[in-house]
Structure 1
């Protein structure tokens, strides 16, 4: 029976190493380390127990740093002549297509295009086009996997509402047929419309004021 505890701990630690999010990696690895420590003491292997207690403490230390770190977020305008826009989209194209498979907007066609910076690091991109006089259609809101903890999204949709209203937009609109993308939009405050579109995509909107 005890060997199953060891198997469980091994699987959990293995799963933690597959996480692209540092926060998820630390949380899952912490659970695996604690399970391994319990297993070690149960089978009378003190070194295994002590080693994994140490690993657990290390995970707790870094989780504490993550949750107490002060991040600085910025929206940096995308230049119409930049080559980095296409490079970024090409580099992350496979991951972007998982959530927004029909995204294909040239920089010249975008009315709003910004790099999403976190502590001066470009971690994502926001692209939108004018849908109506006061409505911005969100074509792309993408953050690379290691920084996908919703902080960047909350910054854009909560802290930067005045940024959009100052440009004349009082409403944000987004269409999606991806369940994970839809969950994200709802978490960011978007409301799902009861009306379906001709492309079988769901409509989401966010009123800014």
Structure 2
């Protein structure tokens, strides 16, 4: 098999692999790489119609990548709406994604029986356009020293939308915590190892055994 054949097969395999991705940024980056490889392959064998098609795909993918990164950095990809832990929409979201939510945030298992007065609980659904893509739940810290502080129980976004970094909205002046006058958010429970990089990117810092985010 020649090097040109290897390039063609590799580009085709990468193209197929790219469409299996649930995360949009990963899909676009892999699809861009595959299309670029196929541009070179088809140019080498002289199939110019396929060169044109894959070049167009490269341009489309590049545009979406730039757009996604811009929206991620500005926090404009998401909106949020206030809810309650026993809200039917929250129940439906947990019915669909509860197992995955609990895998990252074990406290999610207690939400259906959460016994906290409404003023002391924050619950928000995260939206991307018309799609409900995430859930945030926190409770006000009980000790006097925790005035203005909220304990984070859940900060979850479904896999296909994690590249947008919802934390840029959730913990911003336009987010649900600022709307409740929070001064800081802490995570004191069990935090999955896979969640820690996200908390770090969202501005949390490890303080002893707690993750703390000043607002």
TM-score past 0.5 threshold? yes
| Structure that is richer in helix per residue | 2
1:118 maps to which residue? 128
Alignment counterpart, residue 91 of structure 2, candidates 86, 90, 103: 86
- The whole-number CA distance in structure 2 between the counterparts of 1:79 and 1:169 is 18
Q: Which ranges of 4 or more aligned residues in structure 1 deviate by more than 6 Å? A: none
Q: Is the 8 A contact 2:69 2:164 kept in 1?
A: no
Alignment counterpart, residue 147 of structure 1, candidates 141, 148, 161: 161
In the TM superposition, residue 29 of structure 1 has moved relative to its aligned partner by: 0.5
| Structure that is richer in strand per residue | 1
In the TM superposition, residue 107 of structure 1 has moved relative to its aligned partner by: 6.6
List alignment gaps of at least 5 residues for structure 2.
Answer: none
- The whole-number CA distance in structure 2 between the counterparts of 1:72 and 1:64 is 13
Q: CA 1:13–1:155 in 2, change beyond 3 Å: closer, same or farther?
A: same
The Cα offsets for residues 36-71 of structure 1, whole Å up to 9 and x where unpaired, read as: 110111233333323322322332344455456794
Aligned residues: 200
In the TM superposition, residue 176 of structure 1 has moved relative to its aligned partner by: 4.3
Q: CA 1:91–1:9 in 2, change beyond 3 Å: closer, same or farther?
A: same
Alignment counterpart, residue 55 of structure 1, candidates 54, 57, 76: 57
List alignment gaps of at least 5 residues for structure 1.
Answer: 196-202
- The whole-number CA distance in structure 1 between the counterparts of 2:153 and 2:101 is 11
TM score, norm. by length of structure 1: 0.80
1:13 maps to which residue? 15
1:198 maps to which residue? none
Alignment counterpart, residue 112 of structure 2, candidates 106, 113, 119: 106
- The whole-number CA distance in structure 2 between the counterparts of 1:108 and 1:40 is 59
Structure 1 stretch displaced more, 80-89 or 56-65: 56-65
1:1-209 equivalence runs, <5 A: 1-63=3-65, 66=68, 71=76, 73-79=78-84, 82-104=87-109, 105-106=111-112, 108-109=114-115, 111-132=121-142, 133-134=146-147, 135-160=149-174, 164=177, 167=180, 169-174=182-187, 175-195=189-209, 203-208=210-215
CA RMSD in angstroms comes to 2.7
Provide the secondary structure at the position in 2 that maps to 1:158. Answer: coil
TM score, norm. by length of structure 2: 0.78
- The whole-number CA distance in structure 2 between the counterparts of 1:95 and 1:146 is 13
Structure 1 stretch displaced more, 65-74 or 54-63: 65-74
- The whole-number CA distance in structure 1 between the counterparts of 2:180 and 2:53 is 56
In the TM superposition, residue 31 of structure 1 has moved relative to its aligned partner by: 1.1
Structure 1 stretch displaced more, 40-49 or 120-129: 40-49
